[in-house]
Amino acid sequence: MAAPQIPHLLSLRGGHGRGRGRGRGGHRFGHHESEEDAAAAKDHVVQATDGDASGSRLSAVELGYMDDPFARAFHYEQDSPRRYPIINRGTYVRTAALDHLVTRFLSAFPSQPKQIISLGAGSDTRWFRLVLADPSLAHRLVYHELDFSTNTSKKIAAMQNRPFVWKVFKDSLPEGVLEKISENGTRLESPSLNVHPVDLRDLAREGIPASEIPTSLPRLPNLDPDVPTLLLSECCLCYVSPEITVSILRTFTTSLIPRRTPLALALYEPIHPHDPFGRVMLRNLATRGIDLPTISTFSSRRLQKSRLEDAGFEGGQGAADVGWIWSKWVEETERERVGQCEGGLDEVEEWDLLAGHYCVAWGWRDGDGGEEESVFWRAWGELDGQEDEVE
Amino acid sequence: MSDLDKAIALLRACRLIPENQVRELCYKARELLIEEGNVVGVDAPVTICGDIHGQFHDLMELFRVGGDVPDTNYLFMGDFVDRGFYSLESFLLLLCLKVRYPDRITLIRGNHESRQITTVYGFYDECLRKYGSANVWRYCCEVFDYLALGALVSGAATNLEPTSATLADTFVDTDDSQSSTPATDYADIDIEVLNANNEILSRYRRRDRDPLMSSSPVRGGMSGSNGAPRAAGAAGTGATADSGGSASNDGGAVLCVHGGLSPLIDTIDKIRLLDRKQEVPHEGAMCDLLWSDPDEIDGWGLSPRGAGFLFGADIVKCFNHRNDLSLIARAHQLVMEGFKEMFDATIVTVWSAPNYCYRCGNVAAILELAEDGSNAGFARSNGDAGRSRGLPMPMPMPMPGIGPGGLQGQGQGQGQGQGGGGLIPRQMDIGHRMAPGRRYRVFEAAPQDSRGMPAKKPVADYFL
């Protein structure tokens, strides 16, 4: 079981120095007298959440909830964590929901070149799963993963160390084209998959002291400003302040991907922090040193949608919580199959609580083409979302 | 100090007893439980508790709020183990108390008292981790097989006994015309809700039926939680609970069972006829009793849990009428307010694991049923002939086979309603027995760090 771990991160409590924490891998974890060290320690905690995600994914895969031949390769610990059924089902729904949005995007005008930018991708396996299922996809999809360098170097090393993973990647490259890996192993560049070592806060122009704004944006090789682009943020943008989140998104919607180009964002974040479950959730995460600075601002499905609209995704927005997605998006046969994975789910009431506190939200802009040519309108325009909360 | 008292002292301190003692304890417990019928007779006064789920420190809080064993007569409706980090300490303590004070504590089986479920939800792993082998898990599972499937509480007063409790600042009385004092006449008080500090939070009179429990009666940690608790109520129900009495003055018995009813069981006698000494089956009457849930439906429905059934108000009212019951008390479902009455107070869910799984943010409750003075000494023939009236007299370690249940037999159910089911109630909405007065004590999770307990704070999983 995963649960019986004693939190060894308690010592991190109270490190509220919100310095920029320009962690470039050189920070030592454990003693943090200075504010900079405290910020680095916090960054470390956020970086380490990737292990939670990969562990949950491996648990769900090993128990038959979902199929992912890459789950083991990208879980960097030796253990095989086993999560409770409620967490496994949640992992399944989270993955299925984002896959659903991604698949609909890729299937709209299928021959059109497309781009996906995954923020805080960490150990995510989505690109590998997509390309394994349809190798031809690699020729019309440019995929970018952004994360802290500590996470990107682990990912690239894991790719290189697993022959079958490496082969999937190599097979995705056009004849005679070689990938480029930086000397320190933190950056991968290729026409198909790119892994960029980026502290997302370096993309923010506001919400931070002017003196700390880098003069130039981080380098994102192979980023194409002209193809329809989907931004993914699975529990990523919730770890920085609302101002910085807004600013990071503005950099994408205005500078990196100009307004003429169709652009969308699909995100997965916790919501409803103010009810009893939500309050305990924040308290429990705080004991692990994890803050969720945006959750009070984007605290509901309704506010998540309006946040997307405010960020320039004016073509349309939708949102649904995990419980709703489970009952509305997941096919009945699939619900039955998943429901039986561990001999049924006894945590029915708890599931309703937990699943009501995680939300998938999506929004898009059409770009210059207008609605009828809009890839996102075609992909998501008729997608069913959940009604807003009654507040 | 006997070995058993030493074991109790150790376990109360949240420390484990050696494996050989566990083995002996389980053996003695089995000797005791084997003598109990499938439906144990229990006399009021009794304090009825729902799921514990290994939340040891909260079990200690429950004893603080409800009174200690043997001073208080307890009935635990199962799910002692799984989910929490101290299933062993919790279950072994309850088992020790059962062996030490067999007349003062009743344990019935929950759906988690099962080999299959405990391998998924944590108890098996906890046994391996704490004892290094599966032996203790095996001993405990053998005890599980002997736990009764239900209990029948008789002699509960229709009126609440006055308490010395004071009114909480937030006290809510449904009768505005009266000045609210603690010494108010209890004659028509149907429900009283108290907090962990013995302060009365709210009180509901038998006469006024409507507003009552429809808004969360529980204050404290719950206030301002705008609807979230309700969303967490019984699966698929948005029901507001309300307490409705009836015209009858005659109190009926209270059936306690972990989950609920079964389409295969229309009389309590049929529960008595089951062969319970086995692993919980995947289907059938025994499974249903431990897995089913009440729901706002007509008749029977499929359960989202994949075992047991959903059952509606008509089923409950019919069953209660046929079996001369005033109330069914059950556990099994997390309710944010700690308890939830449904179907005109014919069934109540009691949940006793606060902040369930260290994550859910709910409060817990226990249900106290007082003794009906007028019924004193009246022996009900529900199989409890040998059961003492709950004198707080601790028994020494009983010899195997000479437990208090020595005379209990199965199948002495002639006093229970109309027996084998010839009689169909003419009308569902009349004639059900007046529910006993219910005193709920609501409590929050124990502050682990401050109690001198070895507090290993568990980590709840979230998606990150």
| Domain map (residue ranges) of chain A | 10-23+31-380
Element (DSSP H or E) covering residue B125: helix B123-131
d(CA B101, CA B106): 10
Residues of B whose CB is below 8 A from A3: 85, 122, 458-461
d(CA B19, CA B344): 48
pLDDT at B383: 39
Residues of A whose CB is below 8 A from B334: 349-350, 353
Q: Does any CB of chain A come closer than 8 Å to the CB of residue B281? A: no
Q: Is the pLDDT of residue B176 over 60?
A: no
User: Residue B151: which of B258, B2, B67 has the closest Cα?
Assistant: B258
Catalytic annotation on B112?
yes
- Using DSSP bridges, classify how beta strands B325-330 and B339-342 pair: parallel, antiparallel or unpaired: unpaired
| B70 preceded by a cis bond (ω within 30 of 0) | yes
Which of A56, A94, A350 is closest, CB to CB, to B360?
Answer: A350
Chain A's closest residue to B121, CA to CA, is A84
User: Residue B14: which of B69, B53, B57 has the closest Cα?
Assistant: B57
The alpha-helical segments, DSSP class H, found in chain A are 35-62, 85-107, 126-133, 149-161, 163-171, 242-250, 276-287, 301-310, 322-328, 332-339, 348-355, 375-380
Asked, for residue B10, whether it belongs to a domain, the answer is no
Higher pLDDT: B456 or B365? It is B365
Q: What is the pLDDT of residues B92-147, one digit of tens each?
A: 999 999 999 999 999 999 999 999 999 999 999 999 999 999 999 999 999 999 99
d(CA B79, CA A238): 37
Q: Is the pLDDT of residue A357 over 70?
A: yes
State mean pLDDT over A3-9. 34
d(CA B114, CA B124): 10
- Which pLDDT band, with edges at 50, 70 and 90, does A21 fall under? very low
Q: Is the pLDDT of residue B216 over 80?
A: no
Asked, for residue B135, whether it belongs to a domain, the answer is no
Higher pLDDT: B436 or A33? It is B436
Q: What is the pLDDT of residues A124-140, one digit of tens each?
A: 999 999 999 999 999 99
- CA dist B95 to A189, B24, B89, B278, B279, Å? 63, 11, 10, 19, 19
User: Residue B102: which of B398, B330, B356 has the closest Cα?
Assistant: B398
User: Residue B340: which of B363, B314, B371 has the closest Cα?
Assistant: B363
CA–CA–CA angle B309, B48, B122 (5° rounding): 60
A310 labelled as ligand-binding? no
8 Å CB contact between A20 and A212: yes
The alpha carbon of B373 is separated from its chain's Cα centroid by a whole number of angstroms, namely: 23
State mean pLDDT over B203-228. 45
d(CA B9, CA A151): 49
Asked, for residue B1, whether it belongs to a domain, the answer is no
Residue located via tokens 């009893």: A276
Q: What is the pLDDT of residues A104-117, one digit of tens each?
A: 999 999 999 999 99
A120 labelled as ligand-binding? yes
Lowest mean pLDDT segment, chosen from B270-284, B344-358, B386-400: B386-400
pLDDT at B457: 54
A199 labelled as ligand-binding? yes
What CATH number should be reported for the domain holding residue B320?
3.60.21.10
Chain A's closest residue to B290, CA to CA, is A346
Q: What is the pLDDT of residues A208-241, one digit of tens each?
A: 888 888 888 999 999 999 999 999 999 999 999 9
Residue A9 CB-half CA count within 13 A: 21
Asked, for residue B354, whether it belongs to a domain, the answer is yes
Residues of B whose CB is below 8 A from A344: 305-307
d(CA B259, CA A341): 23
Which of B355, B457, B464 is closest, CB to CB, to A52?
Answer: B464
Q: Is the pLDDT of residue B385 over 60?
A: no
State mean pLDDT over B415-430. 38
8 Å CB contact between B436 and B369: yes
In chain B, which among 154-193 make CB contacts under 8 A with chain A?
Answer: none
Polymer length in residues for chain A: 391
Residue A389 CB-half CA count within 13 A: 20
CB contact under 8 A, B457 and A6: yes
State mean pLDDT over A145-172. 97
Asked, for residue B88, whether it belongs to a domain, the answer is no
8 Å CB contact between B309 and B288: yes
Asked, for residue B68, whether it belongs to a domain, the answer is no
Number of structural domains in chain B: 1
Domain A10-23+31-380 is of which CATH architecture?
3-Layer(aba) Sandwich (3.40)
8 Å CB contact between B150 and B267: no
Q: Does any CB of chain A come closer than 8 Å to the CB of residue B234? A: yes
CA–CA–CA angle B340, B75, B190 (5° rounding): 45
d(CA A266, CA A60): 22
pLDDT at A29: 42
For B257, the 3-state DSSP assignment is strand
Domain with B165 in it? 22-52+145-222+234-384+437-450
Residues of B whose CB is below 8 A from A350: 334, 356-357, 359-360
ipTM of predicted assembly, 2 dp: 0.80
d(CA A298, CA A311): 13
Higher pLDDT: B239 or B95? It is B95
Taking all residues of chain A, what is their mean pLDDT, rounded to a whole number? 89
Asked, for residue B248, whether it belongs to a domain, the answer is yes
- Which pLDDT band, with edges at 50, 70 and 90, does B211 fall under? very low
pLDDT at B449: 53
C-alpha torsion sign, points B272, B274, B275, B277: negative
Which of B125, B360, B464 is closest, CB to CB, to A353?
Answer: B360
Q: What is the pLDDT of residues A86-97, one digit of tens each?
A: 999 999 999 999
User: Percent of chain B scored above 70 by pLDDT?
Assistant: 72
d(CA B29, CA B141): 12
Terminal alpha carbon distance of chain B: 50
Under DSSP, the state recorded for A137 is G
Q: B382: Cβ–Cβ under 8 A, 6 or more apart, which residues?
A: B39, B41, B152, B154, B253, B268, B412, B413, B415, B416
pLDDT at B459: 67
Residues of B whose CB is below 8 A from A83: 461
Under DSSP, the state recorded for A64 is T
Asked, for residue B292, whether it belongs to a domain, the answer is yes
- CA dist B174 to A161, A379, B35, B202, Å? 70, 55, 45, 8
CB contact under 8 A, A6 and B459: yes
